[in-house]
């Protein structure tokens, strides 16, 4: 048998074997890569699966999602932007943030959010993309992203730590009414606590699914 033919047959077998292994691996994992640190018995399993399937999230360290890590403001805005369909910001919209540049992964997401007044940045004048987003900020971003709908303020909130003077009060009230949040502790929302990556995905899941 000619040497070239033998090499071709071997290469074909190797290729088919590789495809077979790849298909088996894909099907064995349910058609979608699973995060090793998101077990099925955790409250955020379905939201994370939904977000991954829809291209809203990706892992931080290979097959690890890092659900308990604080979600950064850049990550949160990117998740929200993707959940909203990844709309392009207007080409003539001027970037208002000195700490956001075109080479950053969250550039389009932040500009989109700034253009639609979902975010106004921080008091320092920047967006602070690497800073942890708080639970209060997450609610405000979500609320503004869906158009800041009218909210019934005639009912008492179930949280003792959210008052009418808080900038996030209306957003939290809306989120409670839409069953997006139940708080984090008894009678408490803990608005100033960092929002974890799992919590952010859970909020998005309840808001957009």
Please give the Cα distance from 67 to 57 (Å, whole number): 11
3-state secondary structure of 132: strand
Please give the Cα distance from 110 to 94 (Å, whole number): 12
- CB 119: neighbour CB atoms within 10 A? 24
Domain ranges of the chain: 1-31, 36-208
pTM for this prediction:
0.82
Q: What is the pLDDT along the chain (209 residues), one digit of tens a residue?
A: 443 333 333 333 333 333 233 332 222 334 444 699 999 999 999 999 999 999 999 888 778 999 999 999 999 999 999 999 999 999 999 999 999 999 999 999 999 999 999 999 988 889 999 999 999 999 999 999 999 999 999 989 999 999 999 999 999 999 999 999 998 888 999 999 999 999 999 999 999 98
Placement of tokens 């899941």 in the chain? 205
Is residue 119 left, alpha or beta, with left meaning phi > 0 and alpha meaning psi from -120 to 50? Answer: beta
Half-sphere exposure of 70 (CA within 13 A, CB side): 14
pLDDT of 155 reads 87
């Amino acid at each position: 048998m000619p040497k070239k033919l033998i090499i071709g047959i071997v290469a074909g077998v190797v290729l088919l074997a590789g495809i077979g292994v790849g298909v088996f691996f894909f099907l064995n994992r349910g058609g979608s890569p699973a995060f090793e640190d998101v077990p099925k018995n955790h409250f955020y399993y379905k939201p994370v699966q939904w977000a991954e399937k829809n291209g809203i999230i990706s892992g931080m360290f290979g097959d690890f999602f890092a659900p308990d890590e604080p979600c950064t403001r850049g990550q949160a805005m990117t998740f929200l932007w993707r959940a909203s369909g990844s709309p392009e910001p207007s080409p003539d919209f001027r970037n208002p943030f000195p700490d956001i540049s075109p080479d950053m992964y969250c550039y389009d997401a932040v500009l989109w959010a700034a253009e639609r007044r979902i975010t106004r940045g921080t008091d320092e004048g920047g967006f602070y993309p690497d800073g942890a987003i708080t639970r209060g900020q997450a609610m405000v971003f979500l609320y503004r992203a869906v158009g800041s709908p009218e909210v019934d303020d005639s009912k008492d909130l179930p949280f003792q730590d959210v008052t009418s003077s808080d900038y996030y009060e209306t957003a939290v009230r809306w989120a409670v009414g839409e069953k997006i949040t139940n708080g984090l502790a008894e009678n408490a929302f803990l608005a100033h606590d960092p929002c974890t990556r799992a919590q952010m995905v859970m909020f998005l899941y309840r808001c957009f699914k």
